[in-house]
Structure 1
């Protein structure tokens, strides 16, 4: 595909709690953009506080897409995300607006902007069912250990509690003899869109402090009540409540740990997640990074995107 024919796309990424929401509204107003959420958990209704979902007030009239589109009992995959977002990008362009993906779920965003094929690796329903049965009987730890042995790279990128993805990675290996990492390495690295990849970051210690304070704020805003509502509705053993902020409080509600321990785990898991996000973005994408503690970072990002839109900034395609 010739470079000139590619649709333009802005992507704003960064670790949790770095300040993507505020920056995204500023950029959307500047560039007449509509925002597509690039977060794998903000798709779920009723999961607002724990996913740091943007509020109606914060949106400031900017249209947002892929928020509150699934019930917490429903599964959702990166392949579905890819299909929905590509449709939204075309739709937003047809209105003469600029599409902007904002979020922190690396694989989801990568699957959209690159020619990423999900259908290549076959499946084995019987084998998958046997692994699911094993998890029910013995927990996820033994399977995660298997994954670490077979595909250490995938194990580093998949959270031990993400049962579905651990099982999928083992299923791919079982069916093909190739690891999930082998499949990902074989993916095309050509960008499907003329993409401005903007990353927000800050000093690690400052970021961790912000994460800790954000957790305290979430609790003040009613996170415990939000999670208890899902718990009382019988939302169990599904993808949605494996999310950080939900699984820790579920442990408390199930009587396995104290509330203090749940809060400490939540902070620690959030910090570790931020670290994994940054590693993913650095390894998989060619990002233009901006330090949010630089008081001129908004002006610098606007200059970069203005040059990109004018066609003066030729961004790399790998």
Structure 2
């Protein structure tokens, strides 16, 4: 069953000189490049009120892009009885607290056993929505809050809210190194030039902004509270590694465990065995896509990450006493 979608955006100045297909891929990141190009060729895209089928048309910034298309149900995925920790649900949206190890969407190496498969089992009508209503993603081993749409209207409005930075997402993380103050990382992120599964800071990447503040300082680590202004793949992980404070346990950007000097064997063991990035989406705040009501949810840090934080706190306290 086809569903109508109507979106309007102004081309940012940063797209000066880019082709139309490249530009709308940046402006509407929740749709695949191939689907967007098909819509251009089918006459579903207009620039300043004029329909165009020229995917290579150059943009200058300031143009008004209208996308008016129908979305067909995507590739069929099997419903699977996978438990979802549902924090909130109504007729239009649901919010889940995703555990570590659960992939959000099927892909290479993960054909099923994902949040998407679980959503289809929980509510079969999700099959009529692009990506089964998934609006944004968390990495496989990042835990925490995600919002999912249950109707095409809710999904369209949530995607629009994300693009206009009207959804607030806060994370907790444990980073390597001692950070004395908070700050902002404003560096573009794109695909790594040689490592296909990695992301990297690259001038050809998309604008990416992460705000962070210090929540607690340990001897050789820092607990952080972070807020996303944009939502790029691996954004927090890449940004923290870029400023030489990679997340504890990050298998891609983190390097080896770094225990503090004279750390207990228990703490060393915990750091050695923590094999995922210490990152948790702890707060989600948005205006309900249908009612307009401001809604906020919180999810406590999971046990494995809290255990690391407690051990680092104890280590800092014990060594403070010994040094005193």
Structure with larger Rg? 2
User: Which structure's residues are more often helix, by fraction?
Assistant: 1
- Which structure has the higher relative contact order (CA within 8 Å, separation 6+)? 1
Structure with more of its chain in strand, by fraction: 2
With normalisation by structure 2, the TM-score equals 0.27
TM-score, structure 1 length as denominator? Answer: 0.27
